[in-house]
Structure formats: structure tokens, C-alpha cells
Amino acid sequence: MAFFDGLLGNASQIDLNEARKEFGKILAPGEQIERAYRLIRDMFIFTDKRLILIDKQGMTGKKIAYHSIPYKSITHYSVETAGHFDLDAELYLFVSGSTMPLKKTFNKSVNIYEVQAVLSQYILKP
């Protein structure tokens, strides 16, 4: 089912140990991965310091772009929960310096309230 969710543009949560093993090399000293989600080949990772968007490019996916967004750059966010007919939840991130929000879609196996809590925890830090 996760494969079909990916084809439909839905994100699914991945194992933290897998994410730490694969992406530990791009973390700053002392930085920890808190949550990780996969969208087909792409991923987005919430650390205790920033949000990392991972874009695997090309046919083989060997070329990878890493987009790092410090939490202090996220000006606000919006969450749309899943409904009866619309089974997906959406997260919109508004980043300073960008006119369009980043949109991420989650299937109902991902707790959108948990994602919102992680964002709030880091964005609202003094």
C-alpha cells in the first residue's frame, strides 16, 4: 500500500534508524533526526535544528539535492486534516523570502497532529 501512496503523492513515515544511517553524514555535530517521511524517492527530515528536504533527481536518483530550512526561517504553517471524502492531510510551510508555500501531502497512516507538534516545538523555541 505504501507504494501506491507514494504514486499518489502521499508521504509516509520511515524508520528513524534507517534515516539516521542514510543521512547521518549531512547532519551538523550534535544534530539529531526527530522524524523522517518519504514521498516516492524524495524525503523530508525534521531534525532538532532544521527541516531538510531531499530531492532525488534523474532516472537513477543518484543525483541528490539537499534543501535545508532552519526553523527560524519558517514564518508560519497551515495544516488541513483529512476528511470523509478527502483522505489526505496537507501541510503548508511558509518560508521567509519565498512567495509560495511548500506543500506536503500525508496519507492517513501519518498522524498530521504529530507533524504539527514537531514543527511547533522547534518553531516556537525562544
pLDDT at 84: 65
Sign of the C-alpha dihedral, residues 10, 5, 108, 124?
negative
User: How far apart, in whole angstroms, are the C-alpha atoms of residue 88 and residue 9?
Assistant: 10
Query: So what's the architecture of 16-124 in CATH?
Result: Roll (2.30)
pLDDT at 85: 66
pLDDT at 4: 38
User: How far apart, in whole angstroms, are the C-alpha atoms of residue 86 and residue 93?
Assistant: 20
pLDDT at 57: 82
24-46 pLDDT, tens digit per residue, is 999 999 999 998 888 767 788 99
pLDDT at 8: 40
What's the 3-state SS for the chain?
A: CHHHHHHCCCEEECCHHHHHHHHHHHCCCCCCEEEEEEECCEEEEEECCEEEEEEEECCCCCEEEEEEEEHHHEEEEEEECCCCCCCCEEEEEEECCCCCCEEEEECCCCCHHHHHHHHHHHHCCC
* pTM listed for this prediction: 0.75
Enumerate residue ranges in the chain where pLDDT < 50.
1-9
